[in-house]
Structure 1
Amino acid sequence: MIRPLILAALCLAQPAMAQEATRSFGPEAATARLVLRTTTDIAILAPTVEAFVAAHPGQAVDFEQWGSNDLYDLTRRDCLAGRRGADIVISSGVHQMVKLVNDGCATAWRSAATLALPPELRWRDEIWGVTREPAVMVYNRDLVPPGEVPLSRFDLLDLLRPADTPYAGKVATYDIEASGLGYLFAFMDSQEATTFGALMEAFARTGAVATCCSAEIIAGVASGDYLIAYNVLGSYAATAAAANPALGVVIANDYALILSRAAILPPGAAVDSAGAFLEFLLSDPGRRTLERTNLISTAASPDAEDDVASGGRRVLIGLGLPLLIALDQAKTRQFIARWREAFEN
C-alpha cells in the first residue's frame, strides 16, 4: 500500500510539466490547425474531435493530454510570458480555470450557444462548462457483497467503522496534492458534507490509499487491489463498467457532486478555429458525441435515477468567483495541512 504522503512526494519528484499523451486529427496538409490541451483522456474525447474534424474540412486538431496541475501551470506560464500555447484548454480542474480567467488569461467569445448555457456554467463570456459528469463510488461486484455496497457516505463510514473491517487498505481516492480534480472534489465535500471530517478520520485509521489518476484507481478496483473507490469521475467509471461487469458504480444518495469540465480560449488563440470547436461542443451533434462517451451523463440531471442509488441532491460545481476560495493560498495550505494531519494519525 502506498501511503498518501509518500505518493505525493513521488509525484513531486517526477519531471515537471509532463505531457501524458498526444495525437493529431485531420489532414496533415490542413489549412487550419487547432492546438487542444485538455485533462480529458484522448480515448474518451477522440470521437468528439473526429466528428468536429469531419464537419470542418481542412481543419486539423493537435490533441495534447495533460494532468490538471501541469495544464494549469503551463497555461499560466504561457499567459504570463505573452506566449501563444493552446488555442483551447479544457480541464476538469475547473477551480484552476476560473483562476486563469480571473487573472486575465482568457479570450472572450459570445454566441447564442454560450448564452444558452445555465448561468452557473458561464462566466464573463470567457469560461464555459461543456460536460456534465457526476462524482461516483466504484466497487468490485465480485468482492463486495450486495448488502455491503455503500449507497451513501454514511454507508461508507459504516463499512470502515469496525476495528477488523475487511475494507482496511482497500478504499482508494484521489491524492489531493497530485490531482487538481481530487483537490476540487475534496474541497467541495468539505463545504457540502457533514461526513467530511469523519471520512478523513476513517480513511486515515483504515489506511485508505490516495493516488493521482482515475484510470489507476478504477483499474485497482477491477483487479481487487481495492474494493471501493471514492469520488471517482463518473465518465471514466461508466466507460470502464460498460467494458467490465465486475465493476459497479454508485451515485451516492446523500448528494452527488456534478462536474462540468471548463473550456477557455487563452490569449493569442486561433479564435476562429477555437471558437468553432467550442460551438461544436455545445451543439446538438457535439453533445451527442459527448453523451456516447459519458462526458454528458443523464445521471447528472437533478431528477436522475441511477441503477444503484437515487433521490440525492445533485450539486453542480458552478464556474465563477466562489471557486477562487478553493485556490486562496492560506485556505489551500490550511486544507492540505488538515488532510495531511488526518492521514498521519
Structure 2
Amino acid sequence: MDKQDLYKKLVYQNIEDALAELNAEDKGRYYICNCPECNAHEAFIYKNNTNFIQCNRENHCGERMLLQFHEKESLNPEREKIQKTFPSLSDDQKEALTWSMRLFSFAKTGTKSEILDNGYRGLLKENAREHIVDLQNEQVTSYFFNKVSSLLGKDYSNNSWMCKRNLVFPLYDENNILNRVLLRSSSDPTVEPKEIQLIMNPSKETKDFFMEIPDKAKMVVFSESLLDALSFREIDPNCGFVALTGASKTRQVQAYIKENKGAFTDKHILMAMDDDKAGWKAAQKLVDTMRKEGLEENITMFRYSDGFKDANEFLQGNRTQFEKRYLQDTNQLQRAKQMQHEMS
C-alpha cells in the first residue's frame, strides 16, 4: 500500500480555494492554517509541497492530511482560453501555463513579501505588488521551475544559479495569456546577468514588451524596462507606459505603433530610454517610427540629471528631482501642444 493512502484526503477546486477556506496566513516559506480536523489555527502547509497539511498540536491532534485539487476545465476560464487559442501545446504544457497564471495571480495578493512590501528599488508596495511576483526563496523557485519544465524545455529546479532569481516580472499578451517572464534575484545582487528572460508560451512568437495605457492617461512613457516604467508610475499613477525588455527589442513596439496609431494620437509621449548609446539608438528608432505616423508633435525627450542613466536609478537617487523633472517635461509638452493649437 502506498504510504499516502493512509492519509485522509481533502479535495478542493484549487490551492486558492483551499487557502481561503482554511484561513491561511502567509509566513514566508509556509502557511499557517486552521486544522481541518481540530480547527485550531496551528496547521501548516509548506509552499514547496502544497499537497500536504499537518497540524502542529502533536499531543492534541497532530493530524496529517493530503490536499487534492480537481479543477474541471469547464470551471477554469484560463485553461479553456489556452485550449482554444493554443491547441498545439501538449496537455502538460497547457496545465503548466494555467498553473503559472494562477500562481502569479494568487501571489500578488495572497502572500506577503518583505522585499516588495517595504519598497523595492524605490517602488511603493501597491505599485510593486501589482506587477512583480516574489517567489521568496530558492526552494519555492525550484518548485516553480519543476512545474513549468514542459514549457521551458528544460528543468532548472536543480540549478542554484537560476533558483536565486525569486522575483518574477510576468508579461502577458493582449488576451491576458502569460507569454514570458523576466527573472531577478532579491537576495544576491552580484548574480549576473541581473535579469534573465524565459519564454513561457512556446506555441508562438511571444510578446516582448509591457504595455499599460489607462483610458484616462494623458501621458504615455516609453522606457527600456518595466522597472523604469513603474518609476514614473510612482510620480503619476495615471500615466500609461510602453516598456521594452531590452534596448534592442524595438521591432514589435514599432509594429504596434504603426498598427495602432490611434492609441497615441491624443496622448503626450515621453521618450525615456536609458541615457547611454543603446538607449539613444532605441529611442531614435521609436521616434523615427512615430514621425512617419505623424506623431512627432506629441513627443518630448526625458532629461536625466548628471550621473543617472535610467529612470529607476534616478528615482532611487533623487526622488524629489525625478518628480520635478517629470513635471517640467510634462508641462513643456503641454505648452508646446497648446501653442500649436493656438497657431492652427
* TM-score (normalised: structure 1): 0.25
Q: Which has the larger radius of gyration?
A: 2
Higher relative CO (Cα under 8 Å, sequence separation at least 6) belongs to 1
| TM-score normalised according to structure 2 size | 0.25
